[in-house]
Amino acid sequence: MMGQIDNADETPVWFDMPSSTMIMQRGTNDMKLLSTGNEHSYFAVMLECIANGRKLPPFIIFKRKAMPKEVFLPGVVRINKKGYLDEAMMLEWIQVV
């Protein structure tokens, strides 16, 4: 019975998450915030676990038109022009994972 109860959620993962606060000495006029320029770039991950403790492989969705050539960790990697799970990808996720 516990193997039939599950929980899934899609969440964004940002490539760069700079802090929104800075610690400066009082009276300092010059501040520099270093950034990679990817503050708004992210990918989506669909995660699922089952009540018996089993975790299913992550379903990773990149906002791209072509599949990246890099080698990825185990899991399911897909691309989508929107960058998140839509109806067609949801059906694929159900079949693959």
Q: What is the pLDDT of residues 2-40, one digit of tens each?
A: 778 989 999 999 887 777 777 777 877 777 767 777 777
The pLDDT value given to residue 18? 72
* Alpha helices (H) along 17-59: none
The pLDDT value given to residue 9? 93
Structure tokens at 44: 């989506």
**Buried-state track 64-95, b at ≥16 Cβ within 10 A, e below 16:** eeeeeeeeeeeebbbbbeebebeeebeeebee
Listed by start position, the domains of the chain span 2-16+43-96
The pLDDT value given to residue 24? 75
Decide if pLDDT at 58 tops 80: yes
pLDDT band at 77 (very low <50, low <70, confident <90, very high): confident
Question: Which DSSP letter does residue 68 get?
Answer: -
Decide if pLDDT at 74 tops 70: no
Q: Please enumerate in sequence order all residues whose Cβ is within 8 A of that of 59, keeping only pairs 6 or more positions apart, or say none.
A: 45, 46, 47, 75, 76, 78, 85, 93, 96, 97
Q: Which of 75, 82, 68, 81 is nearest to 96 (CA)?
A: 75
- pLDDT, mean of residues 56-74: 82
